[in-house]
Protein backbone atom coordinates (compact mmCIF):
# COMPACT_ATOMS: atom_id res chain seq x y z
CA UNK A 1 0.00 0.00 0.00
CA UNK A 2 2.78 2.41 0.90
CA UNK A 3 4.58 1.74 -2.38
CA UNK A 4 2.07 4.07 -4.02
CA UNK A 5 3.06 7.74 -3.71
CA UNK A 6 -0.60 8.79 -3.45
CA UNK A 7 -1.08 6.59 -0.39
CA UNK A 8 2.08 8.00 1.20
CA UNK A 9 0.75 11.50 0.59
CA UNK A 10 -2.68 10.58 1.90
CA UNK A 11 -1.24 9.14 5.12
CA UNK A 12 1.03 12.15 5.68
CA UNK A 13 -1.81 14.59 5.06
CA UNK A 14 -4.23 12.49 7.11
CA UNK A 15 -1.88 12.44 10.08
CA UNK A 16 -1.54 16.23 10.01
CA UNK A 17 -5.30 16.63 9.73
CA UNK A 18 -5.94 14.30 12.67
CA UNK A 19 -3.50 16.15 14.92
CA UNK A 20 -4.88 19.60 14.11
CA UNK A 21 -8.53 18.50 14.21
CA UNK A 22 -8.15 16.66 17.51
CA UNK A 23 -6.60 19.61 19.31
CA UNK A 24 -8.81 22.29 17.74
CA UNK A 25 -11.86 20.09 18.36
CA UNK A 26 -11.39 20.34 22.13
CA UNK A 27 -11.88 24.09 21.90
CA UNK A 28 -14.68 23.79 19.31
CA UNK A 29 -16.62 21.60 21.75
CA UNK A 30 -15.87 23.78 24.78
CA UNK A 31 -16.96 26.92 22.91
CA UNK A 32 -20.13 25.24 21.54
CA UNK A 33 -19.06 25.92 17.99
CA UNK A 34 -19.98 22.63 16.28
CA UNK A 35 -22.67 24.29 14.19
CA UNK A 36 -20.37 27.15 13.22
CA UNK A 37 -17.67 24.66 12.21
CA UNK A 38 -20.17 22.94 9.93
CA UNK A 39 -20.99 26.29 8.34
CA UNK A 40 -17.32 27.12 7.88
CA UNK A 41 -16.92 23.88 5.97
CA UNK A 42 -19.79 24.88 3.66
CA UNK A 43 -18.17 28.25 3.18
CA UNK A 44 -15.03 26.28 2.40
CA UNK A 45 -16.95 24.47 -0.35
CA UNK A 46 -17.93 27.83 -1.87
CA UNK A 47 -14.30 28.97 -1.58
CA UNK A 48 -12.95 25.83 -3.22
CA UNK A 49 -15.44 26.17 -6.07
CA UNK A 50 -14.43 29.82 -6.43
CA UNK A 51 -10.78 28.75 -6.52
CA UNK A 52 -11.49 26.31 -9.36
CA UNK A 53 -13.49 28.98 -11.18
CA UNK A 54 -10.52 31.36 -10.88
CA UNK A 55 -8.05 28.66 -11.93
CA UNK A 56 -6.40 28.53 -8.47
CA UNK A 57 -5.82 25.58 -6.20
CA UNK A 58 -9.02 24.66 -4.35
CA UNK A 59 -7.20 25.00 -1.00
CA UNK A 60 -6.34 28.65 -1.68
CA UNK A 61 -9.95 29.51 -2.50
CA UNK A 62 -11.02 27.74 0.67
CA UNK A 63 -8.53 29.61 2.81
CA UNK A 64 -9.65 32.94 1.36
CA UNK A 65 -13.37 32.34 1.95
CA UNK A 66 -13.14 30.69 5.35
CA UNK A 67 -10.71 33.25 6.78
CA UNK A 68 -12.76 36.25 5.69
CA UNK A 69 -16.01 34.71 6.90
CA UNK A 70 -14.56 33.51 10.21
CA UNK A 71 -13.78 37.11 11.09
CA UNK A 72 -17.24 38.19 9.91
CA UNK A 73 -19.01 35.42 11.81
CA UNK A 74 -17.02 36.34 14.91
CA UNK A 75 -18.51 39.80 14.74
CA UNK A 76 -22.02 38.41 14.22
CA UNK A 77 -21.48 35.96 17.05
CA UNK A 78 -21.58 38.57 19.78
CA UNK A 79 -25.24 37.86 20.46
CA UNK A 80 -25.85 34.14 20.58
CA UNK A 81 -29.58 34.44 19.90
CA UNK A 82 -28.80 36.14 16.62
CA UNK A 83 -25.98 33.79 15.80
CA UNK A 84 -27.92 30.63 14.93
CA UNK A 85 -30.11 32.33 12.33
CA UNK A 86 -27.23 34.29 10.84
CA UNK A 87 -25.18 31.12 10.52
CA UNK A 88 -28.05 29.31 8.78
CA UNK A 89 -28.38 32.20 6.33
CA UNK A 90 -24.65 32.28 5.59
CA UNK A 91 -24.59 28.52 5.23
CA UNK A 92 -27.36 28.61 2.61
CA UNK A 93 -25.63 31.41 0.73
CA UNK A 94 -22.32 29.51 0.76
CA UNK A 95 -23.78 26.36 -0.76
CA UNK A 96 -25.59 28.43 -3.39
CA UNK A 97 -22.38 30.25 -4.30
CA UNK A 98 -20.44 26.99 -4.42
CA UNK A 99 -22.90 25.53 -6.92
CA UNK A 100 -22.77 28.72 -8.99
CA UNK A 101 -18.97 28.82 -9.16
CA UNK A 102 -18.76 25.15 -10.11
CA UNK A 103 -21.29 25.70 -12.84
CA UNK A 104 -19.48 28.82 -14.11
CA UNK A 105 -16.17 26.95 -14.05
CA UNK A 106 -17.72 24.31 -16.31
CA UNK A 107 -16.14 21.66 -14.16
CA UNK A 108 -17.52 18.16 -14.12
CA UNK A 109 -19.36 16.45 -11.33
CA UNK A 110 -16.28 14.58 -10.08
CA UNK A 111 -14.73 17.91 -9.11
CA UNK A 112 -17.76 18.75 -7.02
CA UNK A 113 -17.81 15.38 -5.29
CA UNK A 114 -14.06 15.71 -4.68
CA UNK A 115 -14.56 18.97 -2.83
CA UNK A 116 -17.67 17.90 -0.98
CA UNK A 117 -16.65 14.40 0.03
CA UNK A 118 -12.88 14.46 -0.15
CA UNK A 119 -10.51 12.23 -2.02
CA UNK A 120 -7.46 10.15 -1.37
CA UNK A 121 -5.89 10.22 -4.78
CA UNK A 122 -6.23 13.97 -5.15
CA UNK A 123 -3.43 14.78 -2.69
CA UNK A 124 -0.09 15.69 -4.26
CA UNK A 125 3.27 16.04 -2.52
CA UNK A 126 2.97 19.79 -3.01
CA UNK A 127 -0.40 19.69 -1.20
CA UNK A 128 1.25 17.84 1.66
CA UNK A 129 3.96 20.49 1.97
CA UNK A 130 1.41 23.31 1.90
CA UNK A 131 -0.73 21.52 4.50
CA UNK A 132 2.32 20.93 6.69
CA UNK A 133 3.17 24.61 6.67
CA UNK A 134 -0.42 25.60 7.48
CA UNK A 135 -0.68 22.98 10.22
CA UNK A 136 2.61 24.11 11.75
CA UNK A 137 1.36 27.71 11.72
CA UNK A 138 -1.90 26.70 13.44
CA UNK A 139 -0.03 24.61 16.04
CA UNK A 140 2.45 27.40 16.84
CA UNK A 141 -0.39 29.93 17.28
CA UNK A 142 -2.24 27.44 19.49
CA UNK A 143 0.86 26.94 21.64
CA UNK A 144 1.31 30.70 22.09
CA UNK A 145 -2.29 31.41 23.14
CA UNK A 146 -3.00 28.00 24.71
CA UNK A 147 -3.36 29.12 28.34
CA UNK A 148 -5.57 32.07 27.45
CA UNK A 149 -7.69 30.04 25.03
CA UNK A 150 -8.11 27.29 27.61
CA UNK A 151 -9.36 29.73 30.24
CA UNK A 152 -11.68 31.55 27.84
CA UNK A 153 -13.09 28.34 26.33
CA UNK A 154 -13.67 26.39 29.55
CA UNK A 155 -14.67 29.28 31.81
CA UNK A 156 -15.68 32.34 29.78
CA UNK A 157 -17.17 34.09 32.81
CA UNK A 158 -14.03 33.61 34.88
CA UNK A 159 -11.86 34.75 31.96
CA UNK A 160 -13.92 37.92 31.55
CA UNK A 161 -13.74 38.66 35.26
CA UNK A 162 -9.95 38.22 35.20
CA UNK A 163 -9.78 40.78 32.38
CA UNK A 164 -8.63 38.46 29.59
CA UNK A 165 -8.72 39.85 26.02
CA UNK A 166 -11.60 37.55 25.20
CA UNK A 167 -12.79 39.31 22.03
CA UNK A 168 -9.41 39.20 20.34
CA UNK A 169 -8.99 35.59 21.43
CA UNK A 170 -12.31 34.73 19.86
CA UNK A 171 -11.30 36.20 16.49
CA UNK A 172 -7.86 34.51 16.57
CA UNK A 173 -9.54 31.19 17.36
CA UNK A 174 -12.00 31.56 14.46
CA UNK A 175 -9.18 32.28 12.03
CA UNK A 176 -7.31 29.20 13.29
CA UNK A 177 -10.53 27.24 12.86
CA UNK A 178 -10.86 28.51 9.28
CA UNK A 179 -7.33 27.29 8.53
CA UNK A 180 -8.03 23.92 10.17
CA UNK A 181 -11.25 23.47 8.19
CA UNK A 182 -9.44 24.23 4.94
CA UNK A 183 -6.61 21.82 5.69
CA UNK A 184 -8.83 19.01 6.90
CA UNK A 185 -11.29 19.31 4.01
CA UNK A 186 -8.57 18.04 1.67
CA UNK A 187 -9.16 14.43 2.69
CA UNK A 188 -12.58 14.16 4.27
CA UNK A 189 -14.19 16.81 2.08
CA UNK A 190 -15.97 19.93 3.16
CA UNK A 191 -19.27 18.22 4.03
CA UNK A 192 -17.68 15.86 6.53
CA UNK A 193 -14.93 17.97 7.99
CA UNK A 194 -16.92 18.81 11.10
CA UNK A 195 -16.81 15.11 11.95
CA UNK A 196 -13.08 15.28 12.65
CA UNK A 197 -13.35 18.70 14.28
CA UNK A 198 -16.09 17.71 16.72
CA UNK A 199 -16.56 13.98 17.34
CA UNK A 200 -13.06 12.95 18.55
CA UNK A 201 -13.02 15.78 21.11
CA UNK A 202 -16.67 15.19 22.07
CA UNK A 203 -15.83 11.53 22.75
CA UNK A 204 -12.59 12.31 24.62
CA UNK A 205 -14.29 14.47 27.22
CA UNK A 206 -16.03 11.43 28.73
CA UNK A 207 -12.76 9.63 29.45
CA UNK A 208 -10.36 12.29 30.72
CA UNK A 209 -10.73 15.47 32.75
CA UNK A 210 -7.98 17.88 31.82
CA UNK A 211 -7.66 19.97 28.65
CA UNK A 212 -4.27 18.48 27.76
CA UNK A 213 -5.49 14.88 28.16
CA UNK A 214 -8.66 15.66 26.17
CA UNK A 215 -6.55 17.06 23.32
CA UNK A 216 -4.26 14.00 23.41
CA UNK A 217 -7.11 11.50 23.38
CA UNK A 218 -8.99 13.45 20.70
CA UNK A 219 -5.88 13.23 18.49
CA UNK A 220 -5.76 9.46 19.11
CA UNK A 221 -9.44 9.07 18.09
CA UNK A 222 -8.91 11.25 15.02
CA UNK A 223 -5.77 9.30 14.03
CA UNK A 224 -7.63 6.03 14.49
CA UNK A 225 -10.38 7.25 12.15
CA UNK A 226 -8.05 8.62 9.51
CA UNK A 227 -5.47 5.80 9.46
CA UNK A 228 -8.00 2.99 9.61
CA UNK A 229 -10.31 4.85 7.21
CA UNK A 230 -7.52 5.26 4.64
CA UNK A 231 -6.58 1.59 4.94
CA UNK A 232 -10.17 0.36 4.56
CA UNK A 233 -10.72 2.72 1.66
CA UNK A 234 -7.58 1.32 -0.04
CA UNK A 235 -8.72 -2.24 0.47
CA UNK A 236 -12.38 -1.83 -0.51
CA UNK A 237 -12.14 1.12 -2.90
CA UNK A 238 -15.02 2.73 -1.01
CA UNK A 239 -14.83 6.47 -0.12
CA UNK A 240 -12.48 7.27 2.75
CA UNK A 241 -14.87 9.82 4.24
CA UNK A 242 -17.45 7.05 4.71
CA UNK A 243 -15.05 5.00 6.83
CA UNK A 244 -13.81 8.01 8.80
CA UNK A 245 -17.34 9.07 9.65
CA UNK A 246 -18.35 5.54 10.70
CA UNK A 247 -15.26 5.11 12.90
CA UNK A 248 -15.69 8.51 14.59
CA UNK A 249 -19.40 7.94 15.17
CA UNK A 250 -18.57 4.55 16.76
CA UNK A 251 -15.97 6.27 19.00
CA UNK A 252 -18.52 8.90 20.04
CA UNK A 253 -21.38 6.52 20.84
CA UNK A 254 -19.00 4.17 22.66
CA UNK A 255 -17.94 7.15 24.80
CA UNK A 256 -21.60 7.97 25.52
CA UNK A 257 -22.25 4.37 26.52
CA UNK A 258 -19.13 4.29 28.70
CA UNK A 259 -20.34 7.43 30.43
CA UNK A 260 -23.77 5.96 31.01
CA UNK A 261 -22.37 2.75 32.45
CA UNK A 262 -19.91 4.67 34.64
CA UNK A 263 -22.58 6.90 36.14
CA UNK B 1 -6.36 54.43 61.84
CA UNK B 2 -6.72 51.37 59.65
CA UNK B 3 -6.01 51.69 55.94
CA UNK B 4 -8.79 52.14 53.44
CA UNK B 5 -8.65 49.86 50.37
CA UNK B 6 -11.73 51.09 48.47
CA UNK B 7 -13.67 54.35 48.49
CA UNK B 8 -17.02 55.04 46.88
CA UNK B 9 -17.10 58.79 46.33
CA UNK B 10 -20.59 60.24 45.88
CA UNK B 11 -21.35 57.40 43.50
CA UNK B 12 -24.51 57.50 41.39
CA UNK B 13 -25.74 55.23 38.68
CA UNK B 14 -28.85 55.25 36.55
CA UNK B 15 -30.00 53.32 33.53
CA UNK B 16 -31.59 55.53 30.84
CA UNK B 17 -35.08 54.85 32.18
CA UNK B 18 -34.39 54.23 35.86
CA UNK B 19 -32.09 55.54 38.60
CA UNK B 20 -30.39 52.70 40.51
CA UNK B 21 -28.66 54.50 43.37
CA UNK B 22 -27.42 57.99 44.02
CA UNK B 23 -24.78 59.77 46.11
CA UNK B 24 -23.37 56.63 47.64
CA UNK B 25 -20.37 57.24 49.92
CA UNK B 26 -18.48 54.44 51.61
CA UNK B 27 -14.95 53.75 52.85
CA UNK B 28 -13.97 50.08 52.96
CA UNK B 29 -11.24 49.36 55.50
CA UNK B 30 -8.56 46.78 54.68
CA UNK B 31 -9.31 43.41 56.22
CA UNK B 32 -13.03 44.08 56.67
CA UNK B 33 -15.69 41.47 55.87
CA UNK B 34 -18.38 43.72 54.38
CA UNK B 35 -21.80 42.47 53.47
CA UNK B 36 -23.79 44.35 50.88
CA UNK B 37 -27.43 43.53 51.52
CA UNK B 38 -30.69 44.47 49.85
CA UNK B 39 -33.51 42.98 47.84
CA UNK B 40 -33.01 41.75 44.27
CA UNK B 41 -32.82 44.62 41.79
CA UNK B 42 -31.54 47.34 44.14
CA UNK B 43 -28.21 47.48 42.32
CA UNK B 44 -25.87 45.27 44.33
CA UNK B 45 -24.41 43.58 41.27
CA UNK B 46 -24.44 46.88 39.36
CA UNK B 47 -22.33 48.39 42.13
CA UNK B 48 -19.87 45.50 41.90
CA UNK B 49 -19.63 45.86 38.14
CA UNK B 50 -18.51 49.43 38.79
CA UNK B 51 -15.92 48.21 41.27
CA UNK B 52 -14.74 45.77 38.60
CA UNK B 53 -14.70 48.71 36.16
CA UNK B 54 -17.07 46.98 33.75
CA UNK B 55 -19.59 49.83 34.15
CA UNK B 56 -18.94 53.55 34.41
CA UNK B 57 -20.77 55.49 37.15
CA UNK B 58 -23.19 58.18 36.04
CA UNK B 59 -21.39 60.47 38.49
CA UNK B 60 -18.95 60.11 41.34
CA UNK B 61 -16.09 57.60 41.42
CA UNK B 62 -14.76 54.30 42.68
CA UNK B 63 -11.28 54.81 44.13
CA UNK B 64 -8.74 52.11 45.03
CA UNK B 65 -6.12 52.91 47.67
CA UNK B 66 -3.22 53.47 47.63
CA UNK B 67 -3.76 53.04 43.85
CA UNK B 68 -5.53 50.79 41.34
CA UNK B 69 -2.42 48.69 40.68
CA UNK B 70 -2.03 47.89 44.37
CA UNK B 71 -5.48 46.30 44.62
CA UNK B 72 -5.96 42.90 43.01
CA UNK B 73 -9.67 42.12 42.89
CA UNK B 74 -10.85 38.50 42.95
CA UNK B 75 -14.47 38.04 41.91
CA UNK B 76 -16.64 34.97 42.42
CA UNK B 77 -19.62 35.51 40.09
CA UNK B 78 -23.16 34.43 40.82
CA UNK B 79 -23.66 32.33 37.69
CA UNK B 80 -21.41 30.07 35.70
CA UNK B 81 -22.21 27.76 32.80
CA UNK B 82 -21.22 24.51 34.46
CA UNK B 83 -23.56 21.65 33.54
CA UNK B 84 -23.50 17.95 34.43
CA UNK B 85 -21.29 17.18 31.43
CA UNK B 86 -18.66 19.80 32.20
CA UNK B 87 -15.49 17.76 31.67
CA UNK B 88 -12.69 19.46 33.62
CA UNK B 89 -11.64 18.16 37.02
CA UNK B 90 -11.86 20.55 39.96
CA UNK B 91 -8.07 20.87 39.93
CA UNK B 92 -7.95 21.67 36.22
CA UNK B 93 -10.78 24.17 36.55
CA UNK B 94 -8.99 26.00 39.37
CA UNK B 95 -5.73 26.07 37.41
CA UNK B 96 -7.43 27.82 34.45
CA UNK B 97 -6.58 31.04 36.26
CA UNK B 98 -2.89 30.47 35.51
CA UNK B 99 -3.20 32.07 32.08
CA UNK B 100 -0.35 33.89 30.36
CA UNK B 101 2.10 33.38 27.52
CA UNK B 102 3.40 30.19 29.09
CA UNK B 103 4.03 26.61 28.02
CA UNK B 104 0.86 24.48 27.77
CA UNK B 105 1.93 22.21 30.64
CA UNK B 106 2.07 23.61 34.18
CA UNK B 107 5.38 24.05 35.97
CA UNK B 108 6.13 22.30 39.27
CA UNK B 109 5.69 25.62 41.08
CA UNK B 110 2.32 26.21 39.40
CA UNK B 111 1.14 22.75 40.42
CA UNK B 112 2.34 23.33 43.99
CA UNK B 113 0.42 26.61 44.14
CA UNK B 114 -2.81 24.96 42.93
CA UNK B 115 -2.38 22.16 45.50
CA UNK B 116 -1.89 24.76 48.23
CA UNK B 117 -5.11 26.58 47.28
CA UNK B 118 -7.01 23.28 47.03
CA UNK B 119 -5.80 22.43 50.54
CA UNK B 120 -6.85 25.85 51.86
CA UNK B 121 -10.31 25.45 50.41
CA UNK B 122 -10.72 21.83 51.52
CA UNK B 123 -10.87 20.43 47.99
CA UNK B 124 -7.84 18.14 47.95
CA UNK B 125 -9.82 14.94 48.37
CA UNK B 126 -12.18 15.71 45.50
CA UNK B 127 -9.76 17.56 43.20
CA UNK B 128 -9.77 14.85 40.50
CA UNK B 129 -13.58 14.74 40.30
CA UNK B 130 -15.15 16.37 37.21
CA UNK B 131 -16.55 19.75 38.24
CA UNK B 132 -19.82 18.93 36.49
CA UNK B 133 -20.38 16.08 38.94
CA UNK B 134 -19.43 18.08 42.06
CA UNK B 135 -22.00 19.22 44.64
CA UNK B 136 -23.18 22.86 44.78
CA UNK B 137 -20.92 23.56 47.75
CA UNK B 138 -17.88 22.00 46.07
CA UNK B 139 -18.55 24.04 42.93
CA UNK B 140 -18.67 27.29 44.91
CA UNK B 141 -15.46 26.33 46.71
CA UNK B 142 -13.83 25.65 43.32
CA UNK B 143 -14.92 29.09 42.06
CA UNK B 144 -13.51 30.58 45.26
CA UNK B 145 -10.25 28.64 44.88
CA UNK B 146 -9.89 29.84 41.29
CA UNK B 147 -10.29 33.46 42.39
CA UNK B 148 -7.84 32.97 45.31
CA UNK B 149 -5.18 31.51 43.00
CA UNK B 150 -4.47 35.00 41.71
CA UNK B 151 -3.69 36.17 45.29
CA UNK B 152 -6.32 38.91 45.48
CA UNK B 153 -6.36 41.40 48.34
CA UNK B 154 -10.02 42.23 47.75
CA UNK B 155 -12.42 39.32 47.26
CA UNK B 156 -15.99 39.82 46.04
CA UNK B 157 -18.55 37.04 46.52
CA UNK B 158 -21.63 37.79 44.42
CA UNK B 159 -24.58 35.84 45.90
CA UNK B 160 -22.28 32.83 46.12
CA UNK B 161 -24.46 31.13 48.72
CA UNK B 162 -27.82 31.73 47.00
CA UNK B 163 -28.19 28.22 45.58
CA UNK B 164 -26.68 26.32 48.52
CA UNK B 165 -28.29 24.37 51.36
CA UNK B 166 -27.74 25.75 54.91
CA UNK B 167 -24.84 23.38 55.70
CA UNK B 168 -22.96 24.23 52.49
CA UNK B 169 -23.64 27.97 53.03
CA UNK B 170 -22.07 27.87 56.46
CA UNK B 171 -19.15 25.75 55.31
CA UNK B 172 -18.31 28.17 52.51
CA UNK B 173 -18.63 31.30 54.64
CA UNK B 174 -16.69 29.76 57.55
CA UNK B 175 -13.90 29.12 55.07
CA UNK B 176 -14.03 32.67 53.68
CA UNK B 177 -14.13 34.12 57.19
CA UNK B 178 -11.09 32.06 58.16
CA UNK B 179 -9.11 33.31 55.12
CA UNK B 180 -10.34 36.85 55.85
CA UNK B 181 -9.00 36.69 59.42
CA UNK B 182 -5.79 34.76 58.80
CA UNK B 183 -4.67 36.61 55.67
CA UNK B 184 -6.29 40.01 56.31
CA UNK B 185 -8.11 39.57 53.00
CA UNK B 186 -10.80 42.21 52.50
CA UNK B 187 -14.11 40.56 51.57
CA UNK B 188 -17.28 41.98 50.02
CA UNK B 189 -20.12 39.50 50.34
CA UNK B 190 -23.23 40.37 48.34
CA UNK B 191 -26.39 38.72 49.62
CA UNK B 192 -30.05 39.20 50.37
CA UNK B 193 -29.77 36.79 53.29
CA UNK B 194 -29.54 39.16 56.29
CA UNK B 195 -29.23 36.47 59.02
CA UNK B 196 -26.27 35.01 57.13
CA UNK B 197 -24.67 38.45 56.80
CA UNK B 198 -25.09 38.98 60.55
CA UNK B 199 -23.36 35.71 61.25
CA UNK B 200 -20.19 36.36 59.26
CA UNK B 201 -19.75 40.02 58.30
CA UNK B 202 -18.13 42.84 60.28
CA UNK B 203 -19.93 45.69 58.50
CA UNK B 204 -22.90 46.17 56.23
CA UNK B 205 -24.03 48.37 53.39
CA UNK B 206 -27.82 48.17 53.02
CA UNK B 207 -29.06 49.26 49.60
CA UNK B 208 -32.63 50.36 48.95
CA UNK B 209 -33.91 52.18 45.87
CA UNK B 210 -32.56 55.74 46.24
CA UNK B 211 -31.49 55.13 49.82
CA UNK B 212 -28.68 53.36 51.65
CA UNK B 213 -27.37 52.86 55.12
CA UNK B 214 -24.09 51.48 56.44
CA UNK B 215 -22.47 50.60 59.75
CA UNK B 216 -21.20 47.79 61.91
CA UNK B 217 -23.11 44.55 61.44
CA UNK B 218 -24.01 44.54 65.15
CA UNK B 219 -26.02 47.70 64.48
CA UNK B 220 -28.12 45.95 61.82
CA UNK B 221 -30.96 45.11 64.19
CA UNK B 222 -34.33 43.68 63.18
CA UNK B 223 -35.79 47.10 63.97
CA UNK B 224 -33.41 48.77 61.53
CA UNK B 225 -34.09 46.18 58.84
CA UNK B 226 -37.83 46.77 59.33
CA UNK B 227 -37.31 50.52 59.10
CA UNK B 228 -35.22 50.16 55.93
CA UNK B 229 -37.85 47.92 54.35
CA UNK B 230 -40.43 50.62 54.93
CA UNK B 231 -38.34 53.35 53.30
ipTM of predicted complex: 0.87
pLDDT at A238 over 70: yes
B43: domain CATH number is 3.40.50.300
Which residue does chain B place closest to A208, by CA atoms? B87
| Residue pLDDT, tens place only, A113-133 | 777 777 777 778 888 898 899
Note whether residue B157 is domain-resident.
yes
Q: Which of B87, B139, B143 to mutate to test the interface with A (most CBs of A within 10 A)?
A: B87
Q: Which of B80, B102, B150 sits opposite A162 (nearest CB)?
A: B150
Task: Give B85's pLDDT tier (boundaries 50, 70, 90).
Answer: confident
| Residue pLDDT, tens place only, A54-76 | 888 888 898 999 998 888 776 66
Mean pLDDT of chain A: 87
Residues B226 and B162 in one domain: yes
Note whether residue B79 is domain-resident.
no
Note whether residue B77 is domain-resident.
no
Note whether residue B207 is domain-resident.
yes
Residues B162 and B230 in one domain: yes
Average pLDDT over residues A206-217: 95
Q: Does B186 touch chain A (CB under 8 A)?
A: no
Note whether residue B78 is domain-resident.
no
pLDDT at position A80:
57
Domain total in chain B: 2
pLDDT at B149 over 50: yes
The Cβ-side half-sphere exposure at B58, using a 13 Å CA radius, reads: 14
Q: Which residues pair with B205 in a beta bridge?
A: B36, B214
Q: Which of B100, B103, B146 sits opposite A158 (nearest CB)?
A: B146
The Cβ-side half-sphere exposure at A77, using a 13 Å CA radius, reads: 20
pLDDT at B1 over 50: no
Average pLDDT over residues B84-108: 92
**Per-residue CA distances from A207 to A88, A211, A251, A256 (Å):** 32, 12, 11, 10
Average pLDDT over residues A187-196: 80
Note whether residue B176 is domain-resident.
yes
Cα torsion B197, B199, B204, B209: sign: positive
Q: Which of B80, B91, B150 sits opposite A157 (nearest CB)?
A: B80
More confident residue, A41 or B115: B115
Residues B157 and B130 in one domain: no
Average pLDDT over residues A164-192: 85
How much of chain B exceeds pLDDT 90, in percent? Answer: 61
CA angle B122, B124, B128 (to 5 degrees): 130
| Residue pLDDT, tens place only, B177-228 | 999 999 999 999 999 889 999 999 999 999 987 788 899 999 888 877 777 7
Average pLDDT over residues A145-167: 91
Residues B107 and B156 in one domain: no
Residues B61 and B172 in one domain: yes
pLDDT at position A236:
94
Task: Give A79's pLDDT tier (boundaries 50, 70, 90).
Answer: low
Note whether residue B214 is domain-resident.
yes
Residues B22 and B56 in one domain: yes
pLDDT at position B231:
63
Residues B204 and B226 in one domain: yes
Note whether residue B135 is domain-resident.
yes
Residues B160 and B199 in one domain: yes
Q: Does B65 touch chain A (CB under 8 A)?
A: no
Closest chain B C-alpha to A102 CA, distance in angstroms:
42
Residues B50 and B32 in one domain: yes
Domain boundary among B151, B173, B192: B151
Domain boundary among B107, B132, B151: B151
CATH architecture of the domain formed by A17-193: Orthogonal Bundle (1.10)
Tell me the C-alpha distance between A39 and A84, whole Å: 11
Mean pLDDT of chain B: 90
Residues B188 and B223 in one domain: yes
Choice among A163-172, B149-158, B180-189, B220-229 with the minimum mean pLDDT: B220-229
Write out the residue range of the structural domain in which residue B57 sits. 1-72+152-231
Domain boundary among B151, B176, B196: B151
Amino acid sequence: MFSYPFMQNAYMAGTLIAIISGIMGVFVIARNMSFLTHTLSEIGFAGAAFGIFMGWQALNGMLLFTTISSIGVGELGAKSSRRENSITAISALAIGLGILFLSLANSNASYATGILFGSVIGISRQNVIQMSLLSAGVLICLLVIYRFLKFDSFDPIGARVEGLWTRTLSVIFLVLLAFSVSVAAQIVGSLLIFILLTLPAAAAKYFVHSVGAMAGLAVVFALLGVWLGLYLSYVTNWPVSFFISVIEVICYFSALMYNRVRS
Amino acid sequence: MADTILKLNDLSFSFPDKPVFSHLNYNLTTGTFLSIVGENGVGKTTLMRMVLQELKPTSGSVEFLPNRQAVNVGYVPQFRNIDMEYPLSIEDFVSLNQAGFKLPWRSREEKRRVRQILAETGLVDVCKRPLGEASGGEKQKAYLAQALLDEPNLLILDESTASLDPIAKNELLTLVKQINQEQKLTVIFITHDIPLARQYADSYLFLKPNHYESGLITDLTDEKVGKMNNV
